[in-house]
């Protein structure tokens, strides 16, 4: 592992709600800080990690109904979400945001080793 690793990756860049983001590789990180901002509506923001049970059936594989698990969920987000922090390694992270109306979401993960 790189002892000098410090990086930021975007999870969402102004997409309309509801939104399911792409997986962002965070395998090198030890500590992560996730920040999200919602405008135009109230949203529920879920942070997910991929299931580690892919070899146990298609339900856990990519595209299956249990392909990911939620490790952080914040309801009623308007404006900035209370930042989420992780101090354990997660191989990949994605954001899933739900809300009604014309809402948009921006989010990023800042991580370090």
Q: State the Cα–Cα distance between residues 80 and 105, nearest whole angstrom.
A: 10
pLDDT of residue 61: 63
User: Is 97 among the domain residues?
Assistant: yes
Asked if residue 1 belongs to a domain, the reply is: no
pLDDT of residue 3: 60
Specify if 79 maps to a domain: yes
104 lies in some domain? yes
Q: Which residue do the tokens 């209370």 mark?
A: 82
The total domain count for the chain is 1
Residue numbers of the domain that contains 101:
6-112
Look at residue 105 and tell me if it is in a domain: yes
| Strands (E) located in 1-113 | 6-16, 19-20, 24-25, 31-50, 68-80, 84-86, 92-99, 104-112
| Mean pLDDT, all residues of the chain | 87
Residue 12, domain CATH: 2.60.120.380
Residue 2's pLDDT is 59
Before 18, cis peptide (omega within 30)? yes
Nearest to 23 by CA among 6, 10, 5, 32: 10
88 domain-assigned: yes
- pLDDT beneath 50: ranges in the chain: none
108 in a structural domain: yes
């Amino acid at each position: 592992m790189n002892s000098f690793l410090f990086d930021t990756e975007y999870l969402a860049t102004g997409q309309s709600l509801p939104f399911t983001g792409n997986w962002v590789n965070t395998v090198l990180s030890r500590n992560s800080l996730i920040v999200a901002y919602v405008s135009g509506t109230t949203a529920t923001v879920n942070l997910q990690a991929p299931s580690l049970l892919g070899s146990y059936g298609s339900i856990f594989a990519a595209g299956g109904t249990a392909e990911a698990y939620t490790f952080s969920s914040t309801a009623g987000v308007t404006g900035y979400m209370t930042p989420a922090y992780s101090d354990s390694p997660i191989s990949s992270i994605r954001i899933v945001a739900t809300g009604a109306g014309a809402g948009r979401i921006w989010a990023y993960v800042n991580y370090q080793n």
